[in-house]
Amino acid sequence: MGNRQCACYAATMTGEQITAFCVLGAALVLFAWGRYRYDLVAIAALIAVVLAGLVPARDAFDGFGHPAVITVAAVLVISHALRQSGAIERLAAMMLPLTTHPLLHIAVLTGVVTVASAFMNNVGALALMLPVALATASEQGRSPALLLMPLAFGSILGGMTTMIGTPPNVIIATYRADVTGTAFGFFDFGPVGAVVALAGVVFVVLIGWRLIPSERRKQNPPQQLFAIDDYLVELKVEEKSPLIDAVLGEVEALQRDDIDLVGVARYGSDRPLATPRRVLRQGDVLVLRGDPETMEPLAAELGLSPNAAPSEDLTRGDLTLAEGVVTAGSSLDGRDARYLRRRTSGAVALVALARQGRPIRQRLRSQKFRTGDVLLLQGDQESIGEEMSALGLLPLAGRSLQLGQPRRVGIALGVFALAIFAGASGLVPIALAFLAAIVAYVVLDILPVREIYREIDWPVIVLLGAMIPVGRALETTGATTLVAETIVGISAGLPPLIVLAAVLILTMFLSDIINNAATALVMAPISIGIANSLSVNPDAFLMAVAVGASCAFLTPIGHQSNTLVMGPGGYRFGDYWRMGLPLEAVIVAVSVPMIAWVWPL
C-alpha cells in the first residue's frame, strides 16, 4: 500500500515541487560531502531557487533579517562577553579540587559544561572548559581522551535545555511564531531538554566513557603530544660554510621535501626569523625539522655543526610556544604554513602540527590545515594570544585561568539575567533584548568593541540567512506537505507516538551528517505537515525536531564540539559512535515519552 501511495504522489508532483526537491537534494548531498563549506552550499541553493522562480528576487535576502539569525549572532557575542567577564572561569576554578577521582573528574567537567551550555553557545562553553580539562588531565596524569569526548557530548546536551543553547532551538522557536503567531518561550525547551540532558550526562559519566577504546584512555597526557626535541635539529653556520652571505630563499639545499626550516636565530637577537630575503651570517643557527639521519649529510655539505637544544632556542627572550586547535570557520582551515606566515606578517611561526592526536612528521609546508588540527606555534608572549584569536584558534593547555573581578562577574551575569527576563516575559523580543545586552557590555567595558563582530560565526549566519528562503520555497510549492503526506501514508495505521519517534530518529540521522541548523530548517516544516496530517499537536513534533537536531554524537563532523576535541583527545573517526550510538538510544527512550507528556499529542 505504501509503495502505491508513493508512486501516486510522485505522479502528481508539480514542476515546481520537482525543482524544489532537486535543489534540496543537491544541497543535502553537498552538506554531507563536506567538499564545500556549508555557507557556500546554502548560498548556491538560494541562488538556485531564485533563478528557478520559487523565491521572488526581492525576497531573496529576507532570511538575513529573520529574528532567528539575529538571535544566534547575538548569543555568540554574549557568550564571548560572559567568558571575558570571568563568570564561567570562576566556576571552573572552584571545581579544580574535585578532580582527584576519575569518575568525579569526568562528572564535574561534564556537569559544568552542560550547565554553561544552557545559557551560552555550546561551542563557546566547550572552548572555555577545554583548557581546564587538559590542565587537570595533565595534573592528574590522565589521558585527555578520558575527558574530552564526555566534555563535548555534555556541551551538546546542555544546549537542548533553553532556547539560546543551540541554533536549532532558536530556529524551532521562531518557526513556531511563523506558523502559529507565537514563538516558543525561553524556557519552553526546559522540561524535555533538562530531563534528556540529565539522562545523557548520567549515561556518559557512569557508562559512556568506558566505551572509548582503551588504547585512547591509556595514551599519554596532553603535554607529551609534541616532543619537540625528537624531530627539531639546530645547526650552526660555521666559519667556512658556503651559506655565509647567501640569501636564505635561494639556498636549494634548504628547499628539499624531507626538511622544513622553522627559524634562523642570530646572536644578540631574541626572535628567530626565516624570511626568504634574509642574508645568512657566520654564527647563525638554523632550526630545522626532519629525520636526524637526513641532517647529518646536510650538515656536512653546508658546513654546519650541532647547536643547543631546539626547545631552549625557540622559547628564549620574549618568545613562547602555544598550542591551539583549528576551529570551524578559522581563516587557517584549508590553508597552509605559508598563509600562516603571511597572515601574521611573520609574527607567528608553525613549529609542529598534530592530527587526530599524532604529530605530523612529514614536511609541514605541504600540509593543509583542517578543523580539529592542533598547531604548536611560536611567537611573542604579549601578542601570540591576540594572533591566535584573530586566526580562529582555540588555545589549549598552558592558558591560565583569567579570573574576572567579582564585581565585573556580577554585573555581566546581572545584565544577562535582565535580558533573559525581558525576552522571556515578552516585554521585548528576545533578539532585541540580547542586542541591548551587547550594548550594555560595551558601555560597561566588559566587551571590547573590536571583538563584537569577530566572535560571530559568520558561516552559520550565512547558512541560516540563505536557507530560510529555501525552506519557504519548499513550503510555498507544497513540497514539504508532499513529504509529510508520504511519510504519513507509509506509516498508516501506526500510533502517532511511533511516528513522532520516527521523526526524531530521522532528524538525528540528518544531524549526524549535515549541519544541525540546516537539519532544523529542513525538518521543521516537514514535522508540521506530518502533525497536521495526523491531526495532532504540532508542538510535540517541533520539539522532536529540536531534540533530534541537537543529537550529533555519531561522528566528529556532526557538531563543532566533536570536531574540536578530536585532535587534543587523539580520537579516530570511528571512536565517536561507540559512545554516541547508545547515547542516542538513551535520548530516544527518554525524550519520546517526555515530549508526549509535556506536549500531549
- The reply to whether 210 falls in a domain is yes
Per-residue pLDDT band for 7 (boundaries 50, 70, 90) equals very low
Alpha helical stretches, state H, 355-429: 384-391, 406-424
What is the pLDDT confidence band of residue 403, given thresholds at 50, 70 and 90?
A: very low
> Is 4 contained in some domain?
no
Same domain (yes/no): 84, 216 = yes
Grid coordinates representing 176 are 513556531
Q: What is the mean pLDDT of residues 567-581?
A: 85
Which strands make up the sheet holding 348-355, listed edge to edge?
A: 358-359, 348-355, 374-380, 319-326, 393-395
> What is the reported pLDDT for 464?
83
d(CA 343, CA 328) in angstroms, rounded, equals: 18
- Angle CA 120–122–128, to nearest 5: 85
For residues 386 and 418, membership in a common domain is answered with no
Q: What pLDDT, in 10s, does the model give residues 220-244? A: 554 455 655 555 667 778 878 887 8
Using a cut of 0.85, tell me whether the model's pTM lies above it.
Answer: no
Selected residue with higher pLDDT from 575 and 219: 575
Q: Residue 266 — very low, low, confident or very high, per pLDDT cuts 50/70/90?
A: low
pLDDT at 339 over 90: no
Q: Which three cell numbers mark 224? A: 607529551
> What was the pLDDT predicted at 307?
63
Same domain assignment for residues 376 and 415:
no
For the segment 8-37, the average pLDDT, to the nearest whole number, is 78
Share of the chain above pLDDT 90, in %: 19
Per DSSP, the residues of 225-283 read: S--GGGTEEEEEE-TT-TTTT-BGGG-GGGS-TTEEEEEEE-TT-SS----TTPBP-TT
Enter the DSSP assignment of 213.
-
Q: Are residues 213 and 127 in the same domain?
A: yes
Residues 214, 88: one domain?
Answer: yes
Examine residue 310 and state whether it is found in any structural domain, yes or no.
Answer: yes
- Please say if the pLDDT value at position 597 is more than 70: yes
Q: What is the pLDDT of residues 553-570, one digit of tens each?
A: 988 777 878 878 887 887
Q: What is the largest CA-CA distance in the chain?
A: 90
Distance in angstroms (rounded) separating the CA atoms of residues 406 and 385: 24
Domain identity same for 130 and 274: no
Q: How many CB atoms lie within 10 A of CB 322?
A: 22
Strands (DSSP E) along 14-73, which ranges?
none
Query: What average pLDDT does range 159-174 have in this prediction?
Result: 88
**pLDDT at residue 402 in the model:** 46
- The Cα 92–Cα 120 span in angstroms is 15
User: Of 280, 296, 314, which residue sits at a domain end?
Assistant: 314
Predicted confidence at residue 154, as pLDDT, reads: 94
Q: What is the CATH number of the domain that holds 256?
A: 3.30.70.1450
Per-residue pLDDT at 214: 82
Classify 368 as helix, strand or coil.
coil
- With cut-offs at 50, 70 and 90, classify the pLDDT of residue 593: very high
Lowest mean per-residue pLDDT among 68-72, 272-276, 372-376, 391-395: 272-276
Domain boundary among 344, 370, 395: 395
Residue 569 lies in a domain: no
**What residues contact residue 323 under an 8 Å CB cut-off, 6+ apart?**
225, 226, 374, 375, 376, 377, 395, 396, 397, 398
AA letter at 412: A
Same domain, 386 and 415: no
When divided into structural domains, the chain yields a total of 3
66/62 Cα distance (integer angstroms): 7
- Both 211 and 164 in one domain: the answer is yes
Residue 504 has pLDDT above 90, yes or no: yes
Same domain, 216 and 235: no
User: Is the pLDDT score of 171 beyond 60?
Assistant: yes
pLDDT band at 79 (very low <50, low <70, confident <90, very high): confident
Question: Would you say residue 218 lies in a domain?
Answer: yes
83 shares a domain with 213 = yes
Tell me: the pLDDT tens digits for 273-312?
Answer: 556 677 778 877 777 766 656 667 777 777 877 765 554 5
pLDDT-derived band at 399, boundaries 50, 70, 90? very low
pLDDT value of residue 11: 47
Q: Does residue 298 lie in a domain region?
A: yes
Query: Residue 498's pLDDT band (boundaries 50, 70, 90)?
Result: very high
Selection from 191, 194, 212 nearest residue 202 by Cα: 194
Last residue of a domain, one of 411, 427, 455: 455
Enter the DSSP assignment of 553: -
Mean pLDDT across the chain, nearest whole number?
80
Structural domain includes residue 122: yes
Range of the domain at 282: 228-314
Is position 262 within any domain? Answer: yes
Q: Are 119 and 217 within one domain?
A: yes
Query: Are residues 288 and 350 both part of a single domain?
Result: no
